[in-house]
Structures are given as C-alpha cells and as structure tokens.
Amino acid sequence: MVGMKAHYATFARYNAWANRRLYDAAAKLSDADYRAAREAEDRRIIAYIDGLSEEQLKGVIRYRRVSTPEEFVQPLAPALAHWFNHQTHHRGQAHMILTSLGTAPPELDLLYFQRLSDAGQA
C-alpha cells in the first residue's frame, strides 16, 4: 500500500493539473459564450422547478451516471435539495477565491436574496 503522504501528494498534483485544464478550456470561451450558457441553464432550471407540482415533488427520479450503467432511483425532493446545496458549495468556493484575490465578492446568502426578493429587488 502506498503511504498517506504519497497519496495526498498525488491529490495535490492532480488538483493543480485539473485546475490548469479547466482554466485552459475556459480560456477558449468568449465571455458571451459562458455567460449565455450559464444564463440559459438558469432559465431552464427555473422553468423545470416552476413546472413541478407538489405531488411531483413527492415522486422519484431515475438516472444513470455517465460512468456506470447502473440505474439509480432517488426521491426527487431530497435530490433537489442536495443539488441546490451542492451548487451553493461551489459558489462558496468561488466566493473564497474572489476574497483571497482582494476582490470584494458579492453578497450571496439566501437570506439576503429573500430580503431583496420580498422588496422586489431580486
């Protein structure tokens, strides 16, 4: 078995390698391309959620991962909760990067959004 030091050293190098690959791929996109894609996806998500009924939220989803043929069955409501929570996690990472680079990141808290939304400003 490989020692833990070597194991984590591999992860550290993998992390840097994966980030470089992402930066290189993102650099090929125009600002309009990645913003149009993100905004289009956000509209698609909102439309999907708006189209769900309370009854549908009590249902299940069936899916397969890209990497395996196995079918998974998951209750929809907790899957959606996880999915939105996971996006929050990644936004938090981007927020931290902006902070560490000396850029004032925007307020992203759900409570802040709710206050703005209630005031008709979101």
95: buried, middle or exposed (CB in 10 Å: 19+, 13-18, 0-12)? Answer: middle
Task: Give the whole-angstrom CA distance, residue 50 versus residue 20.
Answer: 37
Residue 44: its pLDDT value, please? 92
Task: Indicate the DSSP class of residue 80.
Answer: H
Residue, of 80 and 20, whose pLDDT is higher: 80
d(CA 73, CA 86): 19
As a whole-number percent, the residues of the chain with pLDDT over 90 amount to 30
**Looking at residue 7, what is its pLDDT?**
62
Q: Domain-by-domain residue ranges, the chain? A: 1-51, 60-122
| Predicted confidence (pLDDT) per residue in 47-91, tens digit | 999 999 999 989 999 999 999 999 999 999 989 989 898 889 888
Which of 71, 51, 53 is closest to 62 using CA atoms?
A: 71
Which distant-in-sequence residues (6+ apart) come within 8 Å of 73 by Cβ? Answer: 60, 61, 62
